């Protein structure tokens, strides 16, 4: 392996460890739950192993798999939920990183059968857009990819019924920001519900925000 490739892989491994700890500290990955991955190149991914506390994860624990989920390197076994990640990478060539976690309030919405698709909060429109709820699927099986398939092309964050959430983006930081925002939006939605008077954005207000987002994204490129 060329020296530069080694440096890139080292850096990506360290980032996966850093964001694993961050997500653990936020309470999004209790026990050994949750998993992260990034593209190493067009054919390979780096991913977290199964059965690992994300607080104790080390760079050497990260494993390498191909886009079929075959493990190519690593002393530990890849996460049993890798199928979820593969389904997203195959469908979205623009996606460089995927995070699956169980943030408590967003997961409560997923357990109550409630998507977060109502536009009630400006930040939600500007960052996440609508967050659909994928149908029930047994974790670690092909059912998960099938349940996500209708939503992956048009969304960057999806709730998984009775399970948790998945977000993805142009790098691991982008995927992390979406997961953090998703939990924030779920918490605000819950609090507004408790106050008893949610006032969704009007369609025209939401449309203006979407246009502002497009402009912002063009400037950011």
Catalytic site residues? 81
| Residue 34 vs 129, nearer CB to Zn ion | 34
Find the angle CA(14)-CA(19)-CA(21) to the nearest 5 degrees.
100
| Residue 30 vs 74, nearer CB to Zn ion | 30
Q: Give the span between the Cα atoms of 88 and 38, in whole angstroms.
A: 11
Q: Where are the beta strands (DSSP E) in 130-191?
A: 133-134, 157-160, 164-169
Q: Give the span between the Cα atoms of 20 and 24, in whole angstroms.
A: 6
Please state the closest distance from residue 100 (CB atom) to Zn ion, in A.
6
Please state the closest distance from residue 81 (CB atom) to Zn ion, in A.
6
Burial string for 36-69 (b: 16+ CB within 10 Å, else e) reads bbbbbeeeebbbbbbebebeebeeebbbbbeeee
| Residue 49 vs 164, nearer CB to Zn ion | 164
Please state the closest distance from residue 36 (CB atom) to Zn ion, in A.
12
Please state the closest distance from residue 91 (CB atom) to Zn ion, in A.
19
Q: Give the span between the Cα atoms of 133 and 117, in whole angstroms.
A: 9
Ranked by CB distance to Zn ion, the top (closest) residue is 164
Structure tokens given for 72? 């190519």
Q: How far is CA 161 from CA 43, 111, 133, in A?
A: 30, 6, 6
| Residue ranges in contact with Zn ion by CB under 5 A | 164
Please state the closest distance from residue 9 (CB atom) to Zn ion, in A.
26
Structure tokens given for 193? 């519900």
CA within 13 Å, CB half, 38: 21
């Amino acid at each position: 392996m060329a020296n530069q490739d080694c440096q890139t892989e080292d850096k990506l491994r360290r980032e996966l460890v850093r964001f694993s700890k961050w997500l653990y500290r936020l309470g999004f990955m209790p026990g050994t739950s949750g998993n992260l991955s990034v593209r190493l190149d067009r054919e390979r991914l780096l991913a977290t192993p199964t059965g690992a506390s994300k607080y104790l994860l080390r760079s050497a624990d990260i494993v390498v798999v191909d886009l079929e989920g075959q493990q190519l390197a690593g002393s530990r076994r890849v996460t049993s939920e890798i199928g979820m990640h593969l389904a997203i990478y195959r469908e979205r060539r623009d996606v460089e990183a995927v995070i699956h976690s169980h943030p408590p309030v967003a997961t409560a919405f997923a357990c109550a059968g409630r998507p977060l698709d109502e536009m009630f909060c400006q930040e939600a429109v500007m960052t996440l857009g609508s967050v659909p709820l994928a149908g029930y699927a047994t974790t670690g099986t092909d059912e998960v990819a099938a349940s996500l398939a209708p939503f992956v092309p048009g969304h960057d964050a999806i709730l998984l019924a009775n399970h948790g959430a998945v977000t993805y983006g142009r790098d691991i930081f982008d995927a992390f920001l979406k997961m953090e925002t998703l939990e924030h939006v779920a918490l605000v939605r819950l609090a507004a519900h408790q106050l008893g008077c949610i006032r969704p954005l009007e369609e025209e207000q939401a449309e203006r925000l979407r246009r502002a987002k497009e402009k912002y994204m063009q400037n950011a490129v």
